[in-house]
Amino acid sequence: MGISIWQLLIILAIVLILFGAKRIRSLGSDLGTAVKGFRDAVKEGEEKGADAEKLESREGKTIEGEATREKDKA
């Protein structure tokens, strides 16, 4: 009792008649661009999260050394 190929073809024909091929094509390309932008933003967010974790792991550590001035070296 699923949807047959003929029913899918009829639905596709109705959609083409209502919206037109050009409008459906532009809708598809806009949707693809939006998905690509979303993926890039998620990837960028993950990279920033990893950088923040590295910085947090460095906090609280003391660096041993001596502070000097340029004038004192000469």
pLDDT along the chain (74 residues), means of 10: 88 89 87 93 82 64 72 59
Q: What pLDDT is recorded for position 64?
A: 74
Q: What CA–CA distances, in Å, run from 68 to 13, 61, 63? A: 79, 21, 15
Q: What pLDDT is recorded for position 28?
A: 86
Q: What pLDDT is recorded for position 40?
A: 92
Cα 6–chain centre separation? 38
Q: What pLDDT is recorded for position 67?
A: 74
Q: What pLDDT is recorded for position 70?
A: 74
Q: What pLDDT is recorded for position 19?
A: 86
